[in-house]
Each structure stands twice: as C-alpha cells, then as structure tokens.
C-alpha cells in the first residue's frame, strides 16, 4: 500500500507525470510488440544521445526487421533513462517516487476525465469524457514509473515515521569485542532505559568451547561506547553521585584486563561475558548488586545461550560473525535445552558480587547432572554468611566423583581472600563447611600466597586441588587481575 501524505516540491519525475494524467480506457496495458531488452548491465541511469526525444511519435506496429530494431531501441532508451531517474530520485528521497505511483494509480483507476485535458498543447472539449491520445513511448514510460514507484514506495518510510529498529541493540566494537543486550539478563531496566541488560563480551581468535563469566562488585558497570571506551550506564546517568562515580573509573571488564587475556598466554581462550549485575544505590556506594538475580537455576544457562546466539548473529567491524552459528547449539544432555554444549564454564565474582555468585553456584548450567564442568572462583567476596550455594556446588561434584584439579570432566572451586579482613571470617566458615561436605581435612584446603611462592607452591596447588582456599596479601582490587590468568593457566585442558 502506498502511504498517503502530502507531497511537496518536484523533480524530473513530477514534471513527467503531472501534465500527463492518462489511462487505458479498457483498463489493461497498451498492446505492442518489442524484442528483448538486451543486457541490463548496459543501463547507466543517464540520458544519452541514443534516447529518443520527447516529441518523437511511436507509430510503427509491424514491419521490417529494421523497424523492429528501431522500436527496440526506443523501448530500451525509455527503460534505461526512466530507471535512471527513478534510482536518482530514490537516493535523493522517496516522495517524488511515491507521488508518481499515486498519479499513475489514479490514472489507471479513472480512465476518463470530465474536466479539460491538455495533451500536446491542444484543449479537448470541456465536460466530455476524452481518451488522451498518447504515443507508445509515453505510455511505456508511465507504466514503468508506476510499477517501479509502487515497489519502491514500500522501501521509503512515510514522512515523520521512525526508521525500523534492528531486532536488537548490540554494538560491534572491534573484531573481538561487542556490547550485547540480552533479554535473558537477570536485571530488568527501568522504562526508557536499557543498560541493565548489557553484557560486555570478548571473543578471542579461535576460541575454546569455554565461557568465562565475570560478575563485578560494588561501584562497577560494564558499558562501553562504540569505540570501546568506558560509558556511564543510563541507570547511573540521572544520579549525580552515580554519574560522577562511573565517569571516574573504567568499565569493569577494562579494569580487570578481561580484554587482554590473550596477552597473558594462559593456553586458554574462553569467550568472556560480563553481564551487568549492579543497580543504583544510595549511601556509601552508588551501585550495588541486588539479591535474587540468579535465584532461577536456569537463568545463567539461558543468559549464556542467548549471548552466544547474539555473537553468532552479530557481525564485527570486519564483516564476520563473532561466532559460527553452531558453536554451542547442541544441548549438553537430553532435556537440557537451556544448557549450551560447552567444554567448560569459568564463573568468577569479585567483592560485592558474592551475593549473586552464591545463587549462580547452583545453576543447572554448572551442576553435574545436566551441566558443564566448571571452575568457580571467589575473589575476596565472602562478605555474607550465606554460603550454602558454594557448599552445594562442591558437594554435588564430589558426589559425582568429579571434584578435582586437572581433569577435563571435573570441576574446581577456588576461594581467594585476604587475612585479617572482613572476608576472612566467612571464608574460614565456608572452608569448614566445604571440608565437611567433601570429607576432607579443613587444614589441607588452604594455602598462603606470596609473591615468592606463587610458582613453587600456589600454582601446583591450584593445578591439583578440587577445592582450594588461598590467603593473599594482594590489595582487594588487584586480586582478580592477578589471579584470573593463573586460574586459567592451571585449569583442566
């Protein structure tokens, strides 16, 4: 259907159609015969000397091959010049083309006119239906305009209407990094906002069939602009303290070097996903992680599957999809429709992310009956006494005889914390609970980290333990940056 709206201005097509409101009295196209139009690649969209003049009549119907070739040249010239004008008009704007379609449609619908019609300078009898006398060249040209304009009108939005929106709002940043907007994200944005659904992602070259999911802590965010630079999220932009806090620090994935893991030469190349987990807060923190984000045990699996689907559909700056469509399309087990077919999941959380991490620890994505072997990493985030999810993670994998270091089919649990801080008390309680669940001596589950013993003591312990607690003197905000490469390096291959 052709949009109905006023027309303004004019063009070559307006000038062609407006004075010649003509139609076929029988309601069907004029009958004429012409040869093939030839190679369409010859069309140039311009009027050359071979195009017949406007006043040239087309009177031949049958005759010699010479006349037939002449008719063919006329029709070709009309076709090419008309298409050229149509394409030029479409590039400049669709209104004139839509107007041409409307006028051509009107001419077909009203084969006679009861008002005077001026054709070639001659006034017809007023008030008497007349059939405009036009040559075949004019009829052919108007028919082409009507047909092409009717098709093109559907491609031109009506005046004032918004352009059609893409099915999603994902942003391709470079050949490896993208900002995704997932409907499966655990947070729901306020009306008119969207960044609560943001998921920062990074796909290394030749990625493993593994995904690293990182949950950041208080006073963090994940949004970046189209150039990969930190961008204040929309949920923080309206609050002065939050806006100031967000603009004063990089986005969490950049803070912890998640865009540069390949440089660490860990031997692992997981896809990295950093979903937003903070909302606006008041008091001493401008952003905190609300409880309940992963209370649904299928939430994490749906989020990962959805993000992988986005990355398979989204084209990077080089024009290639970030992932092949079948990268993780097969469920890991019968009935596990929400669990993508991955070899391993790395789930890590820092600081205030301990709250959503405790729920995510019992997601079906990373439990042994339906899920994927997983590494669960706690980066100085044991601020809350609720630790049941972490204990269940260890107990479930131990019951399946698959809680171990260095085994591809097994899972691993690592908790890092600082001594003599508020996280140590809960970490020690958690160590005792995990030791009981897996029938181990609590003293055998802890190791102290120093710069001097990393290579000889800590790294070997990480490589063989199914559950390990690491006390470190590193500053709170440096723990993820320092240990993520070490944990990848010592993960099962």
For 43-68, what is each residue's pLDDT tens digit?
A: 333 333 333 333 333 333 334 444 44
- Does residue 5 sit within a domain? no
Do 243 and 97 lie in one domain? The reply is no
In 3D space, the residue among 263, 273, 123 whose CA is nearest the CA of residue 197 turns out to be: 273
- Whether 279 and 287 have beta carbons less than 8 Å apart is answered as yes
Do 276 and 190 lie in one domain? The reply is yes
Q: Catalogue the long-range contacts made by 294-300 (C-beta closer than 8 Å, 24 or more residues apart).
A: 294/186, 294/356, 294/359, 294/360, 294/363, 295/359, 297/362, 297/363, 297/364, 298/338, 298/363, 298/364, 299/184, 299/186, 299/360, 299/363, 300/213, 300/347, 300/360, 300/363, 300/364, 300/365, 300/366
Q: 0.75 exceeded by the pTM? A: no
Domain that includes residue 136, residue range: 12-121+131-153
Q: Which residues pair with 280 in a beta bridge?
A: 287
- Does residue 66 sit within a domain? yes
- Whether 412 and 345 have beta carbons less than 8 Å apart is answered as no
What does the pLDDT read at residue 122?
37
Give dist(CA 345, CA 150) in Å, integer: 53
Ranges of the chain with pLDDT below 50: 1-71, 73-75, 78-84, 86-132, 147-167, 331-337
Give phi and psi for 487, each to the nearest 5.
-70, -35
Do 140 and 184 lie in one domain? The reply is no
Give dist(CA 129, CA 330) in Å, integer: 70
Instruction: Give the three-class secondary structure for 403.
Output: strand
What is the distance of C-alpha 186 from the center of its chain? 18
Please report, for the domain that includes residue 200, its CATH number.
Answer: 3.40.50.1820
Give dist(CA 26, CA 177) in Å, integer: 62
For 166-181, what is each residue's pLDDT tens digit?
A: 346 999 999 999 999 9
For 263-306, what is each residue's pLDDT tens digit?
A: 999 999 999 999 999 999 999 999 999 999 999 999 999 999 99
What does the pLDDT read at residue 228?
97
Do 223 and 259 lie in one domain? The reply is yes
Give dist(CA 2, CA 299) in Å, integer: 45
Which residues are within 8 A (CB) of 445 and not within 5 positions of it... i.e. 6 or more apart? Answer: 431, 434, 435, 465, 467, 468, 469
- Whether 352 and 288 have beta carbons less than 8 Å apart is answered as yes
Do 113 and 182 lie in one domain? The reply is no
Q: How many CB atoms lie within 10 A of CB 404?
A: 17
Strands (E), 297-373: 344-350
- Does residue 108 sit within a domain? yes
Give phi and psi for 8, each to the nearest 5.
-135, 155
Q: How many domains, in total, are found in the chain? A: 2
Strands (E), 289-359: 344-350
Which residues are within 8 A (CB) of 35 and not within 5 positions of it... i.e. 6 or more apart? Answer: 68, 69, 71, 72
For 445-476, what is each residue's pLDDT tens digit?
A: 999 999 899 999 999 999 999 999 999 999 99
Q: How many CB atoms lie within 10 A of CB 89?
A: 24
- Does residue 366 sit within a domain? yes
For tokens 């055998």, name the residue.
444
Do 35 and 61 lie in one domain? The reply is yes
Q: How many CB atoms lie within 10 A of CB 310?
A: 21
Do 48 and 77 lie in one domain? The reply is yes
R_g of the chain computed on alpha carbons = 35
Do 451 and 482 lie in one domain? The reply is yes
Do 180 and 149 lie in one domain? The reply is no
Give dist(CA 49, CA 213) in Å, integer: 67
In 3D space, the residue among 437, 423, 428, 482 whose CA is nearest the CA of residue 458 turns out to be: 482
- Whether 287 and 220 have beta carbons less than 8 Å apart is answered as yes
Which residues are within 8 A (CB) of 159 and not within 5 positions of it... i.e. 6 or more apart? Answer: 5, 95
Give dist(CA 87, CA 332) in Å, integer: 51
The token pair that represents 223 in the structure block = 């949004």
Q: Tell me which DSSP letter residue 467 carries.
A: E
Do 267 and 238 lie in one domain? The reply is yes
- Does residue 4 sit within a domain? no
- For the packed helices 422-437 and 388-399, what is the interaxial angle rounded to 10 degrees? 30
- Does residue 163 sit within a domain? no
Give dist(CA 31, CA 219) in Å, integer: 76
Give dist(CA 461, CA 374) in Å, integer: 17
Q: How many CB atoms lie within 10 A of CB 140?
A: 21
What does the pLDDT read at residue 338?
56
- Does residue 166 sit within a domain? no
Do 43 and 92 lie in one domain? The reply is yes
Do 36 and 96 lie in one domain? The reply is yes
Give dist(CA 402, CA 315) in Å, integer: 38
Q: Which residues pair with 275 in a beta bridge?
A: 199
Give dist(CA 129, CA 115) in Å, integer: 8
């Amino acid at each position: 259907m052709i949009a109905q709206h006023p027309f303004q201005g004019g063009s070559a097509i307006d000038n062609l159609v407006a004075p010649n409101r003509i139609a076929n009295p029988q309601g069907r196209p004029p009958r004429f015969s012409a040869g093939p139009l030839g190679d369409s690649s010859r069309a140039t969209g311009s009027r050359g000397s071979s195009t017949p003049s406007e006043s040239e009549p087309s009177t031949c119907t049958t005759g010699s091959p010479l006349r037939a070739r002449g008719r063919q040249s006329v029709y070709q010239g009309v076709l090419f010049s008309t298409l050229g004008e149509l394409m030029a008009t479409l590039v400049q704007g669709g209104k004139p083309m839509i107007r041409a379609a409307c006028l051509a449609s009107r001419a077909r619908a009203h084969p006679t006119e009861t008002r005077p019609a001026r054709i070639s300078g001659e006034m017809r009898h007023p008030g008497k239906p007349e059939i405009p006398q036009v040559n075949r060249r004019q009829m052919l040209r108007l028919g082409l305009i009507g047909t092409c304009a009717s098709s093109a009108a559907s491609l031109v939005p009506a005046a004032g209407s918004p352009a059609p929106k893409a099915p999603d709002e994902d942003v391709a940043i470079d050949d490896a990094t993208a900002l995704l907007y997932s409907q499966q994200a655990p947070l729901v944005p306020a009306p008119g906002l969207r960044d609560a659904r943001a998921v920062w992602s990074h796909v290394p070259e030749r990625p493993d069939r593994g995904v690293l999911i990182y949950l950041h802590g208080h006073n963090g965010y994940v949004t970046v602009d189209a150039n990969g630079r930190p961008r204040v999220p929309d949920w923080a932009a309206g609050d002065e303290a939050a806006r100031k806090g967000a603009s004063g620090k990089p986005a969490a994935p950049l803070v912890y070097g998640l865009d540069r893991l390949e440089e660490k030469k860990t031997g692992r190349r997981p896809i990295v996903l950093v979903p937003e987990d903070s909302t606006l807060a008041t008091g001493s923190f401008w952003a905190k992680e609300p409880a309940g984000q992963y209370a649904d045990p299928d939430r994490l699996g749906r989020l990962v599957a959805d993000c992988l689907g986005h990355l398979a559909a989204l084209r990077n700056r080089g024009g290639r999809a970030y992932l092949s469509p079948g990268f993780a399309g097969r469920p890991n087990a019968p009935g596990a429709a929400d669990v993508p077919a991955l070899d391993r999941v790395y789930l890590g959380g820092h600081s205030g992310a301990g709250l959503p991490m405790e729920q995510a620890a019992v997601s079906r994505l990373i439990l042994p009956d339906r899920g994927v072997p997983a590494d669960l990493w706690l980066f100085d985030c044991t601020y809350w006494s609720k630790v049941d999810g972490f204990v269940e993670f260890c107990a479930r994998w131990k019951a399946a005889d698959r809680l171990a270091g260095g085994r591809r089919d097994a899972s691993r649990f690592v908790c890092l914390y600082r001594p003599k801080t508020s996280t140590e008390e809960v970490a020690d309680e958690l160590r005792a609970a995990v030791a009981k669940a897996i029938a181990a001596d609590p003293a055998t589950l802890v190791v102290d980290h120093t710069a001097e013993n990393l290579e000889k003591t800590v790294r070997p312990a990480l490589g063989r333990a199914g559950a390990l607690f690491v006390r470190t003197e590193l500053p709170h905000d440096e723990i993820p940056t320092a240990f993520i490469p070490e944990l990848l390096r010592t993960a099962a291959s």
